[in-house]
Amino acid sequence: MRVLVFNAGSSSLKLGVFDGEQQVFKASFDRFGPEGCDLKIGGETSRAPQPDLAGAIAAVPALLDRHGVEKIDAVGHRLAHGGTGFTAPVRIDDEVETRIEALTPLAPLHNPAMLQAVRLARQLWPDLPQVAVFDTSFHLTNPARATTYAVPKAWREAGLRRFGFHGTSHRYVAQRAAEALGQDAKDLRIVSIHLGNGASACAVQYGRSIDSSMGMTPLEGLVMGTRSGDVDPGAFGFLQRELGLDIPQIEAALYADSGLKALTGSADMRDVEDRAAAGDLEAQLAINIYAYRARKYLGAYAAAMGGLDAVVLTGGIGENSASMRRRICDGLGFLGLMLDDDLNRAPDLTDRAAPQIQAQGSRVAVIVTETAEQLMIAREVRQLLLRSAPVPRSIPVAVSGRHVHLSADAVEALFGPGYRLNPGAPLRQPGNWVAEERLSLEGPKGRLERVAILGPLRPRTQIEVSRTDSFALGLDAPVRDSGKLDGTPSVRLIGPAGQLDCNGLIVAARHIHTSPADAEAMGLTDGSLIRVRVTGAGGRDLVFDRVLIRVAPGTVTEMHIDTDEANAAGISGAGEGELAGKAVAEL
């Protein structure tokens, strides 16, 4: 499938054509003005007569024809903001256009030009499928504690929350880093740092974004070329009182006249570094601020994930500035991160390479790679258009109360040397059972009695509770897939023969067990995330997002939710669900 990808802005248009993974054409129109624009094809730049975005898009068919690019099968569009409604790429129709337009207040400087490109492209290629891919979708896996501002409820209800951007870039480079390490992204904790004219950091924990430095808009977070990054909101009142500036003036300055430009007069890090080397004190300060902000977010995200396996640096500055990479990584030895100076000086990024530049003995991998947002968009367009619709199918829903999976050592510590659990009632999954024994859980705030033990034994003890249970215990149990126990809090297990303090306390991510045959029939794959519509008492419906698919031979198809989720859906004991589409973006 040959996909044409557009990334439109108010003063530029970037485009690429991808045949599978191969980019067969690349061009950009920049600096639109009454007298035309700069047209860059490959490495050559010339003047072109197109004065605006409409003219540039209208020129694309002839441009492709002139360079021998034949037959386009689909068009993909980058959209900056998808709100909470667009959880994944979507095929564009009139209704989708209207929904995107309604999101303009969330991205007034980005979405309008991108939406204009959508409308123009639909007119030029009316018979081709057109797909929108959203920067924000990858970050919709962020938990509420990362997305919620502590502001009045009316503001939050109006839509004020953190979203995060550069999602296509962070998704691509995290995936590329996992490939370079020869590991599954679902086993890694990665901090992705995109450093270009726009800059952001992202915490990717076990394949999902859990936090991003950008917020409701692309202003929050790191220092950027012309954008401020983090600023005290009280600055608005101060500037109004002291300088007489109104909100539009302040907002415009934070977007276009801040960042490196405000600190040094130049938004180009290459210029800033040259001036700093020549003794310019303002440039030196700007570099220190830029690196400090990035390093601060890196450390914060390592703490948020309970550890760090890899850092990946991308974007024009992340890819090309050895000194900035060094400044960001220096001082992180306490995390086990050490750079190799020689590897850092000149990493070879040819052919989308992702070289590692950490020193021998570093516990954290450091990877440099070029971002490939257009390639990622083309991939997502292909995946959407080639994916067959799942077969509608009823899925049994079981409510999973608090329980514990014990290791052999834990059984002996709690019940005595040589003790063997007594299997009681069998569970629906073959070979699984509820033990006759019970134990207690104790945290700093309270205690839960008569907690069930499920068999068979596991190599590592895992304790599964609901979010409400975790507050009753006084502990912050993270939402995790089964077996992902690193960095989880410790809780006290109390049995008749002893007690044991161990980590492994989680709120189990909602999931569906299914066999390979059932998964194939429903169009599902192991590790994917889907949406499930569950019907509770009185016909009450609730759509659960981000339901993990776990495919294994010999299992019975069944969805597991905890008691909090069951209460929200009005389910008591068991219920029924049906597939409702793909969930938010994932690796």
Q: Which of 135, 469, 545, 562 is catalytic?
A: 135
Here the tokens at position 348 are 């070879």
C-alpha span between 100 and 97 (Å, rounded): 5
Cβ burial of 114 (10 Å; 0-12, 13-18, 19+) is: buried
Residue 295 backbone class (left: φ over 0; alpha: ψ -120 to 50; beta: rest): alpha
Bridge partners of 438, per DSSP, are 452
SS3 393: coil
Q: Where are the alpha helices (DSSP H) in 44-195?
A: 53-66, 94-101, 111-124, 144-147, 153-157, 167-181
End-to-end CA separation in angstroms for the chain: 21
Residue 254: count other Cβ atoms within 10 Å of its Cβ.
20
For residues 323 and 315, the answer to whether their CB atoms sit within 8 Å is no
Binding site for substrate: which residues? 78
Please report how many Cα atoms fall inside a 13 Å half-sphere around the Cα of residue 223, on the Cβ side: 23
The residue behind tokens 């220096």 is 330
Binding site: which residues? 7, 14, 78, 194-198, 268-270, 316-320, 373
Here the tokens at position 174 are 């995290």
C-alpha span between 124 and 164 (Å, rounded): 32
Here the tokens at position 167 are 């999602």
For residues 466 and 563, the answer to whether their CB atoms sit within 8 Å is yes
CA dihedral 106, 98, 139, 477 (to 10 degrees): 100
Question: 257-295 burial, b for 16+ CB within 10 Å, e for fewer?
Answer: ebbbbbbbebbebeebbebbeeebeebbebbeebbebbb
**Closest residue by Cα to residue 550 from 527, 566, 534, 530:** 527
Residue 545 appears among annotated catalytic residues: no
CA distances from 586 to 86, 209, 308 (A): 14, 8, 19
CA distances from 153 to 2, 53, 97, 157, 161 (A): 47, 39, 29, 6, 11
C-alpha span between 218 and 220 (Å, rounded): 6
For residues 404 and 455, the answer to whether their CB atoms sit within 8 Å is no
Residue 359 backbone class (left: φ over 0; alpha: ψ -120 to 50; beta: rest): beta
SS3 129: coil
Binding site for Mg(2+): which residues? 7, 373
Bridge partners of 356, per DSSP, are 367
CA distances from 393 to 280, 557, 558, 576 (A): 67, 11, 12, 10
Please report how many Cα atoms fall inside a 13 Å half-sphere around the Cα of residue 239, on the Cβ side: 15
Catalytic residue list: 135
